[in-house]
Amino acid sequence: MRIWFKAILITVSIAAVILFFDAYWFVDKHKEFYKGQEITLANQATPEAEPIKLLKDSLFVSISSENYSNFALRLSSSYAKARQYDSAASYKELIANRFPNEENWKNAGLMYFKAFKNASGEQEEQQMALKAIACLENVEGISSSEKVKLALANLYYSYEEGIKATRLLQEVLIVDTANQEALYSLGIHFFQSNNFEKATAYLSQLIQVDSTHINGMYYLAIADIKIGNTKEGKMLFEKLKLLEIPAEVKANVDDYLNEIK
């Protein structure tokens, strides 16, 4: 009887040990499993990239027009905040293509114009300019949109379509005679075309509006000298030196003043 009892006791003890190690192995394995899951989830939680991917996926499967616009606008805003204006513009263009109206084409075109101004190279600059022009020329109310006219004029000048650009800027000035951007753009256009008489006309108006416009004063002074108004040019250069100007501009001013003494 005692031998039988001892046998049972030994068997139970061995079973308990086996169960203990099995349980330990099971828990340990599951700890490893969940630890692995945590690492995987941590690797997936990439800042910014994951929300962008989610928005793109949502846009792709979106059926509702309202949701489509919202997802595209949020994507555009995210890229604009990251200063990736070309990508930001592309999502505004998606909206304009799907819902073509004046406001949507204007928003897409002006964002492409921003991408054009912030382009990192000549090839990208040309691509953004062409896209901006294509979008802005779809704006039906172009005759009443000052922002569109100013942007298109800038783009047309970059493509040597001076007549179109000049006409748009003059239309802006009919409504807003003190528009500094239009006055400066016209002044520089005629300056670069060696039409210094017209350049002085527009740049003089600009200086009347803003007497501290550094670039306007600089090119007006040179244009004055070119047409023989040396005294006026010298006075402008002297006034310019009293302002806080970049060292390079100051050096150029000094060179001109030394030449006309």
**Mean of the per-residue pLDDT values of the chain:** 81
pLDDT digits (tens, 9 = 90+) for 59-88: 665 666 777 787 788 889 988 999 999 999
CB of 193 closer than 8 Å to CB of 162: yes
The CATH number of 48-176 is: 1.25.40.10
C-alpha 45 chain-centroid distance = 27
Handedness of CA 47, 48, 52, 54 (dihedral sign): positive
Write out the two tokens for 59: 């846009």
pLDDT digits (tens, 9 = 90+) for 16-53: 433 343 434 333 433 343 344 333 333 333 336 766 77
pLDDT at 48: 61
The CATH number of 178-261 is: 1.25.40.10
pLDDT at 50: 63
* Residue spans of alpha helices (H) in the chain: 2-44, 49-61, 65-81, 85-98, 102-117, 122-136, 146-158, 162-175, 180-192, 196-209, 214-226, 230-241, 247-259
DSSP 179: -
Least confident range of 44-53, 173-182, 240-249: 44-53
Write out the two tokens for 139: 């704006």
Closest to 219 (Cα-Cα) out of 258, 182, 184, 251: 184
Residues of the chain with CATH 1.25.40.10: 48-176, 178-261
